Structure 1
Amino acid sequence: MSSNDQFRKFLFEHSQVRGAWVHLKESYGEILSQTRYPEPVAQLLGESLAASVLMSSTLKFHGTLSLQANGEGPVTTLMAECSHDRYIRGIARFDDADSTTGENLNQLLGQGRMAITITPEQGQRYQGVVPREAETLSGALEEYFERSEQLSTRLFVFADGKQCAGLLIQRLPGATEEDDQLWERVEHLAATISQEELLTLDSETVLHRLFHEEEVRLYDREPVAFRCSCSRERTLAALQAIGRDECYSILEEQGSIEMDCQFCHAQYRFQRIDIDQLFAGHTLH
């Protein structure tokens, strides 16, 4: 895995204030290479990928966290996902490259819904709705944490079409009066970070510039990489969800069923024998 794609947690010692930092280049480039994205869409997707990695630091189990949005604007679909072991994937769909412009989140997505979905490998899936009142993705996600999790959070994410990066600071439950004072200081300092600094500087330099007067514990680097979770088995499960009648209808019309992964463009082809085995006991078609 590339050293350019890293994630690190940090903690302000003797407090209930934590943080996380991420920088992505190779994995972001791999995801962008799947589709020719207009610049505003590439930036929004990069911000979403960085945000998904930062938010995945809250996972206390094996599973995935995804940020999903559907809108009526130039960008109709946005999805960024990160697993507990820092594998990411993402995609954006847009109407027309020539008309895909926008200064902020709501101009790009228009009216629509945004949600955070947490999917554990074992247990029930959870989904929370993200408010769309803020004009930036960071602002929307900050409001989500404040309303849904009751956690004061500041989030800074930037992307330039070549690399993306992010910084998160958050107050945890059980904060003391000293934590209140610490939070005021670090929130003010974090807000001074610039896009250029976050995209070009390593984690040690960023945290030293911002918080050199605080006692910060920086945890080990964790590599981040693009990896799609699609498989032949998962694709068969999707066909099973479509239903027996629909699958056999496609077979009658096309002779086989072909499905492409929207994230990595892997191609899966299924013959009649595959569908017969999938729907055991229904082979007389």
Structure 2
Amino acid sequence: MSDELVSGLLKKADLRVVLAVSTALSQKARATHRTAPAAAALLSQALTAAALLGALQKSEARINLQVECDGPLRGLFVDGDASGTVRGYVKNPLVEYVGGDGQYHWRPVLGNQGFLSILRDMGQGEHYRSSVELERFDLAGDLERYFLQSDQLPSHLLLAQLPTVGADGQTESLGIVAGLLVQPLPDADMDGFQALGARLRHDFESALRAHAASGASAVLRALLPEPDFEVMSRYPLGFACSCSEDRVKRALLAMGREELQDLLDKEGQAEATCQFCTTRYVIQGDVIRSMLASGSV
């Protein structure tokens, strides 16, 4: 099963539906950041949400989702685009404990207060940022509040993480990871929107268990047997980073000549580690001296 996003339209009800299956990228993010179970779970939820939000953007736009909280997680940051590439990190990857099922499941991780912020980078220097206070302390629930308060758009958002048992008898906590977003278009049937949301909340996990191995399209066909459902787009999802040595060098140039010379004198080289993918870059002193001699700083 490869990670995939499928979006489509229920024509009669005028409802947009987006489904992301994000199991492999969630497992890769966990391995990259060596996250404990609770941190891994919330990071996978946020990455899945970023994929769903990315599907709503224009091709050149990016979406950033940030959570700040007073719990032991301290917060997270994820980033996605309209092509299906996501990346992200949690501030404290060592959080293990979650609460019992129900309303307070994520409170031991997130704490008692915080904010959820969305930054839309529209390209060409145009940005749009808005925030809501954490109220439900559940990422899906607070994102639904965000859509309603910030965009005046009621939404159904489901995020699922289902454990599976491998052939070796070991339990994989991120065995199936997926997200589902339903939003009404301007002339939508709102009664149908509410009824569909209730149905999907009831059927989502069972459809994932039965059909996720066959891909996102198979899950959607099971959830939406209506003949008027039309698939509008589908594309693969992946966890990847855009960092590079050239970007690190540009960041060094932005420091200015005096600071760069001071760094060279004190450290002899420059080191940087990407928060998104943990890649470590070392820019040797000879390279820094060449940058200084070239007059580019």
Structure-1-length-normalised TM-score? 0.85
Q: Say whether 1:256 aligns with 2:257.
A: no
Maintained 8 Å contact 1:10/1:20: yes
Superposition map of 1:60-139 within 5 A: 60-94=58-92, 96-97=94-95, 100-102=97-99, 103-110=104-111, 111-139=113-141
Q: How do residues 36-47 of structure 1 correspond to structure 2 at under 5 angstroms?
A: 36-47=34-45
Q: Secondary structure of the residue that 2:203 maps to in structure 1? A: coil
Structure-2 residue corresponding to 1:188: 198
Aligned residues: 277
**Is residue 248 of structure 2 the alignment partner of residue 235 of structure 1?**
yes
Q: Quote the Cα distance in structure 2 between the aligned partners of 1:19 and 1:61.
A: 18
Question: CA offset at residue 96 of structure 1?
Answer: 4.7
| Shift in Å, 1:165 | 0.5
3-state SS, counterpart of residue 221 of structure 1: strand
The change in CA–CA distance for 1:18 and 1:187 in structure 2 (over 3 A counts) is: same
Counterpart of 1:34 in 2: which secondary structure?
Answer: helix
- Superposition deviation, residue 81 in structure 1: 1.7
Q: Which residue of 2 aligns with 1:58?
A: 56
The residue aligned with 1:247 is 260
Report the CA distance shift for 1:162/1:32 in structure 2 as closer, same or farther (over 3 A).
farther
1:197 aligns with 2:207: yes
Tell me, which stretches of 5 or more residues in structure 2 are unaligned?
Answer: 162-172
**Same amino acid, percent of matched pairs:** 28
SS at match of 1:33: helix
Rounded to whole Å, the distance in 2 between the matches of 1:266 and 1:129 is 30
The farther-off stretch of 246-255 and 129-138 is 246-255
Secondary structure of the 1:201 match is helix
- Judge conservation of contact 1:28–1:162 (CA < 8 Å) in 2: no
Deviations 1:143-180 (A, max 9, x none): 010011111101001224344101110012x225xx12
Q: Cα–Cα, structure 1 residues 101 and 242, in superposed 2: closer, same or farther, change >3 Å?
A: farther
Q: CA deviation at 1:45?
A: 0.8
- Report the Cα distance in structure 2 between the residues aligned to 1:138 and 1:34, rounded to whole angstroms: 24
Which of 17, 30, 35 is equivalent to 1:19? Answer: 17
Q: Deviations over 1:71-123 (max 9, x none)?
A: 2211123122211111111211217546x545544432233332111223423
Deviation at 1:229, TM superposition (A): 0.9
Is structure 2 residue 223 aligned with structure 1 residue 221?
no
Q: In the TM superposition, what is the alpha-carbon distance from 1:63 to its structure 2 partner?
A: 2.7
- State the alpha-carbon separation in 2 of the partners of residues 239 and 105 from structure 1: 39
Would you say the 8 A contact 2:98–2:106 is kept in 1?
A: no
Alignment match, 1:158: 160
Retained in 1: the 8 A contact 2:33–2:277?
no
